[in-house]
Amino acid sequence: MQASTVSDPASWLIDALSRQSSSGLSVTPGKILGIAVVYACVNVISKCFATLPIRLYQGGPDGSKQILRLDPMHQLLAVKPNPEMTSVDFRRVMQAHLSLHNNAYAEVVRDGAGRPAELWPIHPANITPDRGDDGILFYRFRHQLDGRDPLPMSDVLQLRGLTFDGVYGFDPVGGLRDVFGLAMALDTNAAKFFANDSKPGTILSTEQALSDRAYNRLKESMEKSRGVEKAHQYKIFEEGLKILTARQANRESQMDESRARQSLEICRIYNVPPHKVQILDNATFSNIEEQQIDWVADCILPLAVTWEAALGRLLLSDRDRVTGKFFKIDLRGLMRGKMIERADYYSKLITAGVLSRNEARVFEDLDPVDGLDEMLEPMNMQPAGARSEQD
């Protein structure tokens, strides 16, 4: 079987990153982190996701589930992925890679029995999926790790975002380089504006011809007076020189409005509500709670399902899956409302017999109490038809 139902992501990625955006600036994952709102989006997603509880469960045939806290796979993900990282460190690195590159990789180190023992993140620039002549997927190393033996598919944990071939996640930085390039250009514009005494660029004009000596002396004098620290210093012009404005001031070119609009565009790319990155222009107390729900449903939940599926496929054996083991990331902490609303929610579920009192305590991170596991049965309610059976 011939290689390659997978397009060569290495050449495609290098080509995408080497192209300039329409703004004239080169756009790479490292450079776009210099855009404040990009850094804020990547940081808030990875920080939020890394602190969510991740657990290994044993499911029962009746739908019940139990946390397997002492299982090595639970310890690997929830406590210590490798000797150098905590679970929070590992998940934050992996999620940051996923947000920036739409791909995240970790090498699975196995023990003598073939069971996963350690997880080590690999930067997406240093590894890429490929197919051999037999058509089987493997992972080869690049750049700093070039020269290492390729890894089989069974030893690489890969998280993918949007993908068009099921193997390699679409590169958002290369595909959306004009969006990021414009934001970079606007930031550069603002920085240069302040470096130029907070004034528009100017042209010096004279009807006389300047000698080389006069030109060089004038240029040297102007260069020495540049910068915010030297603003408002006296400048003496000779030879009938006059100042002409060469460009509009920033307020006339609506730079602030353009930067704000571009920040919202980047929030849209990452599915991050503006208030999560401190953009509060249109936020109100009434709509922030709704935006929090949208944030969980549209951003965090899809990521959680992506992680759960990838972890279950690679770290659990066929027997584990058949016997009901599965990974689950708990999102309930993100959905908590106000104290009074939570109390009312639990009260209604408990009195309706849907939730036990100990289950409510667990949801609130409280220890179970003996005698609170039984469901309450409302005295004024019974199953349909029960009265006729009693009669």
Domain boundary among 211, 246, 281: 246
Total number of domains in the chain: 3
pLDDT of residue 228: 45
Indicate whether 80 and 181 sit together in one domain: yes
Do the domain assignments include residue 112?
yes
Whether residue 43 is predicted with pLDDT greater than 70 in this model: the reply is yes
Higher pLDDT, 78 or 196: 78
Domain boundary among 182, 213, 246: 246
Residues paired with 20 in a beta bridge: 26
Query: Residue 214's domain spans which residues?
Result: 202-246
Question: In this structure, are strands 137-141 and 151-152 parallel, antiparallel, or unpaired?
Answer: antiparallel
Indicate whether 135 and 234 sit together in one domain: no
Indicate whether 277 and 136 sit together in one domain: yes
Indicate whether 232 and 329 sit together in one domain: no
In percent, the amount of the chain with pLDDT more than 90 equals 32
Whether residue 2 is predicted with pLDDT greater than 50 in this model: the reply is no
Indicate whether 133 and 228 sit together in one domain: no
Indicate whether 160 and 231 sit together in one domain: no
Alpha-helix residue ranges (DSSP H) falling in 196-325: 212-224, 255-270, 285-295, 301-315, 318-322
Question: In this structure, are strands 103-110 and 156-160 parallel, antiparallel, or unpaired?
Answer: antiparallel
Indicate whether 206 and 150 sit together in one domain: no
**Contact assessment for residue 118 and residue 81, using Cβ atoms and an 8 Å cutoff:** yes
Read off the pLDDT of residues 280-326 as tens digits, 9 standing for 90 and up: 776 666 666 777 778 888 899 999 999 999 999 999 999 999 999 99
**Contact assessment for residue 104 and residue 159, using Cβ atoms and an 8 Å cutoff:** yes
Do the domain assignments include residue 356?
yes
pLDDT of residue 255: 66
Do the domain assignments include residue 324?
yes
Whether residue 84 is predicted with pLDDT greater than 90 in this model: the reply is yes
Indicate whether 151 and 240 sit together in one domain: no
Do the domain assignments include residue 14?
yes
What is the overall mean pLDDT for the chain?
A: 79
Indicate whether 315 and 366 sit together in one domain: no
Indicate whether 329 and 364 sit together in one domain: no
Find the range with the poorest average confidence among 2-6, 177-181, 328-332: 2-6
Higher pLDDT, 231 or 45: 45
Q: Which of the four pLDDT bands, split at 50, 70 and 90, describes residue 181? A: confident
Higher pLDDT, 117 or 335: 117
| Residue 310 CA to its chain's centroid (Å) | 17
pLDDT of residue 207: 63
Read off the pLDDT of residues 207-244 as tens digits, 9 standing for 90 and up: 677 777 777 777 777 776 655 455 555 566 666 666 65
Question: In this structure, are strands 325-329 and 54-59 parallel, antiparallel, or unpaired?
Answer: antiparallel
Do the domain assignments include residue 389?
no
Read off the pLDDT of residues 324-373 as tens digits, 9 standing for 90 and up: 999 999 887 776 656 677 788 888 888 888 888 888 887 776 777 888 88
Residue indicated by tokens 């002409």? 244
pLDDT of residue 30: 85
Indicate whether 237 and 362 sit together in one domain: no
Do the domain assignments include residue 169?
yes
Do the domain assignments include residue 391?
no
Indicate whether 74 and 148 sit together in one domain: yes
User: Cα separations (Å) of 265 from 41, 170, 182, 260?
Assistant: 12, 18, 11, 9
Helix (H/G/I), strand (E/B), else coil: 156: strand
- DSSP codes of every residue in 92-113: HHHHHHHHHHSEEEEEEEE-TT
The sheet with strand 137-141 has its strands ordered as 127-131, 137-141, 151-152
Domain boundary among 210, 225, 246: 246
Do the domain assignments include residue 390?
no
pLDDT of residue 7: 45
